[in-house]
A and B are shown apart, each in its own frame.
Chain A
Amino acid sequence: MANRSIGHRRKWALDLAGRRGDRGGDNLPAPPGYRSSFSQGHAEASRQGDPKLVIKKAWDTALSPLKSVPMNLFLMFMAGSSISIFPIMMVGMMLLRPIKALWATNATFKTIEGNHAGLQKLIYLLGNLVNVGLALYKCHSMGILPTHASDWLAFQEPAIQMEFSHGDVRVPGGGIREKEEEDLIKNLQETVTLVYKEEDKG
């Protein structure tokens, strides 16, 4: 197929009768000197040419997140635990990069084929997850993760009041009944104690 297209384009002929509106890429002849298959041929040649290299490259991709772990650890150590713009930016980048990479896993491995692909994907995922974990740990140690009850305190609704109590010092005077009441209660208490005493005796 490649040879045929090359051969076809080597013809020095321009089709000037092509209609203006017809912009379909296939119908248009390629500009002079353009070889669409040039780069394609290259990649195909290398892919087909060295399968070991392909596998090595794929393993490189799969292991790259894990390889960046020591670097991240060092960066985390350097960032310190103070909350200011640069440490926050660093931690943010550390957290965002592996998450972005996780999203783009399939895109990264689209070009990679082979029987190791499943394992490589898994390792790649794991590596990124380790990085996410590291970043979260850093956030935690910096105290910017809302993991304490105090972080959710502002959202707590006030408690519902079940009983309502009213009262104050009563207005003095005018309470002749109160005295009677007191006497009554005193009498009652005395009778109660008497009854108890009698019961004890009995």
Chain B
Amino acid sequence: MAAGLKAPLSLLLLLFLSHISPSVGLYEDQIGKFDWVQQYVGIVTHSVFDESTVPRRIVVATSENVLAALATKNGDIVWRQVLESGENGRVEALVGEGQRVTSVAGRMVRTWDTLTAALVHETYLTHTPHPGLLERAVVVGESELVLGEVVAGSVVVTTLDRVSGSPLDHTNVVAPWISTDTKCGSAGKSLVCVELSLSLIFVLLLTAPSPEFVSQPLASVGLEAPEPGSQVLLQNVPGAPDHLIIQVGPGRRLVHLDGNSLHLVRDLGGSQTSAVAGGVLYSLTQVAHVVTLGAVDLETGAEVGEQGLVVELPTHTGQAISLYVHHYQTSDGGSALRALLTCSDHSLHLLSSAGVVWWREEAMARVVSVEGVDLPVDGANINFQDPLPASPDWVSSLVHRVRTQVSQVSHWVSLVMERSDSTFPAPLHTLYRDQLNLRKLLVLATASGKIMGVDSWTGEVVWRIYVSELTPLEGDKLLLYTQRTSAHFPHQPQCVVVGKHRETGEGVLVAFNPNTGEGVGDRGGVMTLGYTIIQALLLHHPDHQYLKPVVLVDDTMKLHVFPAGGESVVLQHKDSIFVHLARPGSTHLTGYTLRFSTPGNLVLREVWRVCVGGGGIVTGVYGKLAWEKVHSPGRVLADRSVLYKYVNPNLAVVTTQGYDHLNKNTLTLYLVDTVSGAVIESVNHKKVSGPIHVVHSENWVVYTFFNDKYRRFEVTSLELFEGLSQANATAFSSLGGRATPPIMERQAYILPVGIQAATHTTTEKGITTKFILFALQTGNVMQMSKWLLDPRRPVTGGPREEGLLPYIPELRLSPHDMITYNHTLPRVSSIFTAPTGLESACVVLVYGLDLFYTRMFPSKMFDVLKDDFDHYLIGGVVLALMAAALTTRKLAQRKALKQAWK
């Protein structure tokens, strides 16, 4: 009976839900109007030219564990298969066999159809990888697969059946000289190891019935006894599997493997990378952006000059890393050549005798951090942004105002006059802000050291900066900060990227103008800092040129300021600036003050230390956005009283993960005031595991994790309130002391899918309802109103707050709420949101392997008239009414006069 009643009730509720939930969706004709998607593959590690299918394509395997087919004609992705992430999906061998291609990745051997991208055959290798694996060599034979696993002290050779994946043979070759410093590489059917301390090359034929290492001195291939500390590099030669390039220090030799022995073929000194096609060896040398492919006949050693290439690469391209060359028959019977070139900036180029056929900006596949920059305003509007005189009295500000208004009007008039002359739109290259500031310049800092400015309307790259020495800090981080926005004309906006040096590991800072992509200062804005960076922070306070200084903390806890003149700003505000740092893996969070800084000597002095251990280690510190605005200081309850929010701008969420006494995974969240070091609240979850995604904004925290006990994904929502009265409405001080601790409300919900990334929408004034964006593991990005995750949703009865739904633990995923509609975004690493000039609008960039941009209207464009709003009708009605009012007034007056005369 009860169940029978429940069903219609829940159905009703569902109906109610579906009716009121702010679903947006998209009409078919709106696809691509406000959004764009760009697909990438990553850095190419293996490639196979496929001539059997039309259109011709190149099958590539990449460092992002992606197998893809690129059209030879234009470089478009014909198909793409995203393999497992991590080591399990790293492609170690890619073999083309006619219309099929076989990949070996982790424990999977897969055969794909190059035409349809269909998985033809898949074998799971019944072989567990050896612990302490240093290197793995894979030999793909007709019917068997040989794995050579290099571990310290020995090499384990396993032969597996290619069809069933079962092991056939197993040999352990003892090699006591193998250490972690030994370089090993596979070439053809052999494993080649170079041990510098012995000056020997060891070769192991993996396919031999009883494999045995054969040693050979380095000098036998013409390599001198190396200096200590020189680098060894083993490079495969695409197209010639039984050849290998051994590079020791500056010496670079091409060797040929013949069973167990190897002999020198050619000295390749000076070249960067080589490939073989049709018995011809192509060696690449690069001077600036000009690439020369020298061709040498492998058999005779004679130069084949006519087959070489000289090509100029686009600017902002790095050094060539790998090369694949392919010969093909042209329609007139001749032979031509294609070369696939990967450069250190992760770009992929297809070269032919005519030059660069196409190139792909694969650096975009590894975007590390994003910043949205306002475009400069156009023409006369610039005057409007002029800073006012230093001490504006009302007369001068009035004069300023009138003058700017007049100039705006005159500019508009001239614009109108011009428009009547020519109806051509302005060229695309001149990027100017649109009326509602919906168009942004997205600054993307990528792991390759390439920084790019992307026009948010079209997704086109406007400018590029390639800093070859820049590489992300540990933890795959590049710190990107906007020091000055476009709002301070005539000062140009400025951004900085902080990373580390590729070789020395010391800090590298790149300062540039985000509108033009020009470096600020010497050496194109690149500064090599002489110290190791542990953190870089952007201050809240600008200097007199509206530039916010960046404070860099080095490993001796000394502070450096960029630009150096920003030190005065730091000293001026030193009493109110606090710094907190936590080392991942440690159990404490430390707070520092700058109070004891003196000119020329900025120091961090520890003021508090919170031990947040409890059996776990710190895995993340999540603060709030520095510029975040909270519009409403409280919430109105059903009885019209106000529940004031606890909006502490210095609050940070510290997550710790570890094991409890039962060895179960635990997750603890601490809400720490980072000025006073006070732990405001803590929440503990038992039997949960990561990945944990935390969204922290205003007075609430939303985080997701996997519940081990119930085997489901959960999202928990916390919200902090001060209570029904406010201690101090005008100022917030963490040190002020508070009579009562804040009240925490919490509720948990069940998510049907896992989460790859999560963030919240941001708008200019913070009036619009916040939405939470979840990048689902299915590849969609879902929007969910914060209102659905409200921890005050009444569980049973209770006082009904205005507009709050009764608590239902299951969250519904509606297809309408997918902002990516039918796109699937694999491997989303993060989501970036930025406010626009329109309060209801927010721009979103989802990045990871792909880039997806769209704009969102969380509160359904409440500040914009609808598209179908009839301006003419409304205006006409108003005018007609005014005219009618005037005429009737006249008539009434007349009538009254007549009446008076009667």
Contact = CB atoms under 8 A, between A and B. Distances in A.
B632 interface: yes
Given A158-B629, A162-B576, A162-B736, A167 B674 contact: yes
Contacts of A50: none
A172 B475 contact: yes
A163 B640 contact: no
A20 interface: no
B576 A164 contact: yes
Contacts of B735: 162-163
B216 interface: no
Contact of A153 (B556, B621, B636, B647): B636
A31 interface: no
Contacts of B685: none
A161 interface: yes
B640 A143 contact: yes
B731 interface: yes
B403 interface: no
Interface string B614-647: 0000101101000001111110110011100001
A17 to B, nearest CB: 25
B199 interface: no
A79 to B, nearest CB: 21
Nearest to A152: B642
Given A149-B642, A172-B585, A177-B557, A166 B538 contact: yes
B779 to A, nearest CB: 28
A174 interface: yes
A118 to B, nearest CB: 39
B620 A160 contact: no
Contacts of A158: 629-631, 633, 647
A189 to B, nearest CB: 11
B551 interface: yes
Given A164-B576, A165-B650, A169-B582, A150 B535 contact: no
A164 B636 CA distance: 29
A148 B623 CA distance: 34
Given A149-B641, A167-B674, A172 B633 contact: no
A27 interface: no
Nearest to A181: B557
A159 interface: yes
A139 B590 CA distance: 56
B843 interface: no
Contacts of A185: 609
B620 A169 contact: yes
A115 to B, nearest CB: 40
Contacts of B477: 171
B668 to A, nearest CB: 16
Contacts of A172: 474-475, 583-585
B452 to A, nearest CB: 23
Contacts of B583: 169-170, 172, 175, 178
B732 A171 contact: no
B733 interface: yes
B535 to A, nearest CB: 5
A83 B573 CA distance: 52
A77 B674 CA distance: 57
Interface in B744-797: none
7 contacts: A150-B642, A156-B729, A160-B731, A164-B573, A164-B578, A165-B579, A168-B582
A159 B633 contact: yes
Given A153-B632, A153-B633, A169 B642 contact: no
Contacts of B621: 167-169
Given A164-B576, A165-B579, A174 B534 contact: yes
B535 A171 contact: yes
A167 B559 CA distance: 13
Question: Which 6 residue pairs of A and B lie closest in terms of their CB atoms, listed nearest first?
Answer: A167-B580, A162-B733, A166-B537, A174-B532, A165-B650, A165-B674
B640 A150 contact: yes
A176 interface: yes
Contacts of A167: 535, 537, 578-582, 591, 621, 623, 652, 674
A161 B582 contact: no
B732 A165 contact: no
Contacts of B551: 166
Contacts of B540: 164, 166
B341 interface: no
Given A162-B733, A164-B573, A153 B642 contact: yes
Given A150-B642, A153-B632, A153-B636, A166 B539 contact: yes
B675 A163 contact: yes
A188 to B, nearest CB: 11
A151 B650 CA distance: 28
B620 A153 contact: no
A173 interface: yes
Given A164-B573, A164-B649, A166-B578, 9 more contacts: A150-B641, A156-B633, A159-B728, A163-B733, A167-B623, A168-B581, A169-B583, A172-B475, A172-B585
B505 interface: yes
A170 B581 contact: yes
A91 B206 CA distance: 97
A19 to B, nearest CB: 22
Contacts of A178: 583
A157 interface: yes
A167 B610 CA distance: 14
A16 interface: no
Contacts of A171: 473-475, 477, 533-535
A153 B634 contact: yes
A151 B637 CA distance: 11
A46 B442 CA distance: 90
A176 B555 contact: yes
A157 B647 CA distance: 13
Contacts of B578: 163-167
B734 interface: yes
A87 to B, nearest CB: 19
Interface string B135-170: 000000000000000000000000000000000000
A168 B551 CA distance: 13
B571 interface: no
Interface string A178-191: 10010001000000
A81 to B, nearest CB: 14
Contacts of A176: 555
Contacts of B637: 150
A154 interface: yes
Contacts of A159: 633, 647, 728-732
Contacts of A170: 534-535, 553, 581-584
